[in-house]
Amino acid sequence: MLTILGRNTNRRGSFCDGISRRNFLTIGGFALGGIALPEAMRSEAAAQTGSNHKAIINIYLPGGPSHIDLWDPKPDAPSEIRGEFNPIDTNVPGIQICELFPRMAQMMDKFIPVRSICDADGRHDAYQCMTGHKFGERQPPGGWPAAGAWVSHLQGNVNQAVPPHVALMYKTGNRTWGEPGEGGFLGQAHAPFNMVGREARGSSDNMVLQGITLERLRDRTRLMKSLDHFKREADTRGLMEGMDIYTEQAMGILTSSALSDALDLSQEDPRILARYGKSDEKFQRDGAPKMIENFCAARRLVEAGARFVSLNYSRWDWHGGDGMNFPRSREEFPLLDQGLSALVTDLHERGLDKDVSVVVWGEFGRTPKINARNSRDHWPRVSCAMLAGGGMQTGQVLGSTNRLGEEAETRPVKFQEVFATLYQNIGLDLNGTRIFDPSGVPRYLVDSGIEPIREII
């Protein structure tokens, strides 16, 4: 990856990454992969996309948050099931959520709690939340594309300054919590353009161009000199084959202010930014940092032209010897409540609620029964999600679990059904889209028989 680092000069002292108060821009993948290539540009022109800009924000909670403690409370269950929190009413009669989400409760008419996701893979891995597929299932040559790769391939750029498929996925100590997916058989052209990472001076996957801040990306001459220096060094490593055909697209992105401006939260109205709460740049053990302001950065990236933005937020695996499920919930839930309510409020105030879909989820749920350490263990049999925007029929609950929260009782939902819904929201044709993989096998956005969730569209 090519990483551009420099001394920070903005007045707030931090862009959206928050890492060491330095600018951090990563161009991920082989040969500046993730930048839209001519194929995507031609497909966009042919389809005349970009004139109707719809988008998806995919918020991943690494580690598997507890469905019961979040948005599926069980107040009538025994104490070893219901836990330490009480439910509260929302502004939608009949819907209750955890008492630590008062902001979302007062705007539940703008959300859809999904309580019955039933096909979690059971791995500590972002893969299913990025692709919809289970990790161990048979894959096509090149692998399954991330959801954003499908969007990039089929809809292309809104403008040439901002890649359609963008990620704010921090590299995590548990590697699989920080992987935003790949281009798969669609190719590296559609891999996520990941703009955050982890401090890694001198590491093998970061070749650093010093002396260029995000503000100075407008200086084409200086940027070209630094890029030439990088190319000379990369030549010695055998990395430059095919690089030149992508340079013009790379320069189109890097020399525009659109991408850097979207990341520069000092340009956000301070009153709006304050809604999201204060970020914590420290990595949560082997998870991601609590960069709640990245929810705002995701909205800004969408406004700048991104079609699909993925991000990882904090760490939600709290069942070990520390017994931290309930203490950590008291710390984490209010900030998530504040960040999600701020994001959805912003989308509505800006008239984006019909065009931008939001999904929030983890890789699986948590055991209904509290363990001996006062925590909850892994529970793939059921998990939850929260949906908003996208013109969906909000203000309703989708699915339910049984009395003890052990399994889906009504309307079981699969990960791919959620993606099918998001794809339809963004304007993709599930039935009419067929792409041949390198072996000549036709592939589709979702598996045969999977349809959008009719109750909410």
Mean pLDDT, the chain, integer: 83
Residue 5 pLDDT exceeds 50:
no
d(CA 114, CA 411): 10
Q: Is 64 left (phi over 0), alpha (psi -120 to 50) or beta?
A: left
Q: Which residue has the tokens 């099931």?
A: 81
Q: What would the two tokens of residue 78 be?
A: 């025994």
Q: Which residue has the tokens 């100075």?
A: 216
**At 284, which amino acid appears?**
Q
Check: CB of residue 394 under 8 Å from CB of residue 426. Answer: no
241-261 mean pLDDT? 59
69-83 mean pLDDT? 97
Q: For the chain, what are the domain ranges? A: 1-50+130-311, 65-123+318-457
31 or 368: which leads in pLDDT: 368
| pLDDT of 246 | 46
Q: Which of 52-56, 252-256, 276-280, 430-434 has the lowest mean pLDDT?
A: 252-256
Per-position DSSP letters for 233-293, written without gaps between them:
HHHTTT--TTTHHHHHHHHHHHTSSHHHHHH-GGGS-HHHHHHH---EEEE-TTS-EE-TT
- Categorize the per-residue pLDDT at 446 as very low, low, confident or very high, splitting at 50, 70 and 90: very high
d(CA 289, CA 337): 16
Q: Classify residue 250 by burial, with Cβ atoms within 10 Å: 0-12, 13-18, 19+.
A: middle
318 or 196: which leads in pLDDT: 318
What is the DSSP secondary structure assignment for residue 431, as one 8-state letter? T
Instruction: Indicate the pTM of the whole model.
Output: 0.84
| pLDDT of 359 | 99
| pLDDT of 208 | 33
273-291 mean pLDDT? 96
Residue 123 pLDDT exceeds 90:
yes
- Categorize the per-residue pLDDT at 160 as very low, low, confident or very high, splitting at 50, 70 and 90: confident
Check: CB of residue 252 under 8 Å from CB of residue 36. Answer: no
322 or 10: which leads in pLDDT: 322
- Categorize the per-residue pLDDT at 51 as very low, low, confident or very high, splitting at 50, 70 and 90: very low
The residue among 309, 300, 313, 385 whose CA lies nearest residue 347 is 300
d(CA 88, CA 337): 13
| pLDDT of 263 | 86
Residues 6+ apart with CB under 8 A from 215: 9, 10, 260
d(CA 24, CA 259): 12
pLDDT tens-digit map of 364-421? 999 999 999 999 999 999 999 999 999 999 999 999 999 999 999 999 999 999 999 9
Check: CB of residue 446 under 8 Å from CB of residue 430. Answer: yes
| pLDDT of 13 | 40
Check: CB of residue 389 under 8 Å from CB of residue 343. Answer: no
- Categorize the per-residue pLDDT at 227 as very low, low, confident or very high, splitting at 50, 70 and 90: low
Give how far Cα 432 sits from Cα of 135, 136, 150, 317, 443, Å.
26, 27, 14, 40, 11
pLDDT tens-digit map of 316-341? 999 977 778 999 999 999 999 999 99
**Length of the chain in residues, anyone?**
457
| pLDDT of 414 | 98
427-447 mean pLDDT? 96
Give how far Cα 412 sits from Cα of 77, 191, 292, Å.
21, 31, 30
